């Protein structure tokens, strides 16, 4: 005699985690972890997406220029764990990890993808479900402003240093 099947993982997953935030002049924040499955066979919630990184302006005292620096994207949230299997049926699978946020538009690194959730424990006589795959990290943007460059780059605000003898 076999036990009752668990909840269909595709039709009733646990809630996903909240996404990270993307704010001007700040690095992206991390996505939140997905919820665990709470009923037999339920799929764990997916991790939230990592927030995208922004850029900030950094002055260079030696050259008098201001450079753009890309800030990193946030990491994707880990996925929730699948629910325990009903007796005689497999456990729910873990949700997928959230993808990492994109790096800032100059040279920020993309955030790391979230980890996949652990598969739920199987019921008596059945194996547990598989954990979901981790999300992919966001791509960092290519640098467009070489450090200490003497070239005038239109996208970079130039700040001229005034020598002390001229200011007097």
pLDDT confidence of residue 152: 42
pLDDT confidence of residue 107: 63
CA 85, CA 132: separation in Å to the nearest integer?
16
Instruction: Report which secondary-structure segment, H or E, holds 166.
Output: helix 164-167
The residue with greater pLDDT, 163 or 120, is 120
Q: Is residue 37 part of a domain?
A: no
Q: Is residue 79 part of a domain?
A: yes
Q: Is residue 164 part of a domain?
A: no
Q: Is residue 19 part of a domain?
A: no
* Each residue's pLDDT tens digit, 22-69: 888 888 888 888 888 888 888 888 888 888 888 888 888 888 888 888
CA 45, CA 24: separation in Å to the nearest integer?
29
Q: Which residues, including other chains, have CB under 8 Å from residue 124's CB and lie 6 or more apart?
A: 3, 87, 88
The domain of 58 spans 49-83+92-141
What is the pTM for the complete model shown? 0.59
Q: Is residue 154 part of a domain?
A: no
Number of structural domains (the chain) is 1
Q: Is residue 9 part of a domain?
A: no
Query: Taking 70 as the threshold, does the pLDDT of residue 113 lie above it?
Result: no
Task: Give the Å distances, CA to CA, from 28 to 71, 72, 121, 131.
Answer: 8, 6, 34, 26
């Amino acid at each position: 005699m076999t036990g009752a099947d668990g909840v269909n993982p595709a039709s009733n997953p646990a809630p996903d985690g909240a996404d990270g935030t993307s704010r001007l002049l700040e690095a992206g924040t991390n996505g939140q972890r997905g919820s665990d499955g709470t009923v037999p066979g339920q799929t764990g919630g997916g991790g939230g997406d990592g927030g995208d990184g922004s850029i900030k302006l950094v002055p260079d005292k030696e050259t008098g220029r201001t450079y753009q620096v890309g800030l990193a994207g946030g990491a994707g949230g880990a996925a929730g764990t699948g629910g325990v299997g009903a007796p005689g049926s497999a456990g729910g699978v873990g949700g997928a990890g959230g993808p990492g946020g994109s790096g800032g538009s100059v040279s920020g690194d993309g955030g790391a993808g979230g980890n996949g959730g652990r598969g739920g424990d199987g019921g008596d006589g059945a194996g547990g479900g598989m954990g979901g795959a981790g999300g992919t990290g966001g791509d960092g943007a290519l640098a467009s402003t070489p450090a200490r460059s003497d070239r005038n780059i239109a996208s970079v605000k130039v700040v001229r240093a005034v020598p002390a003898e001229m200011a007097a």
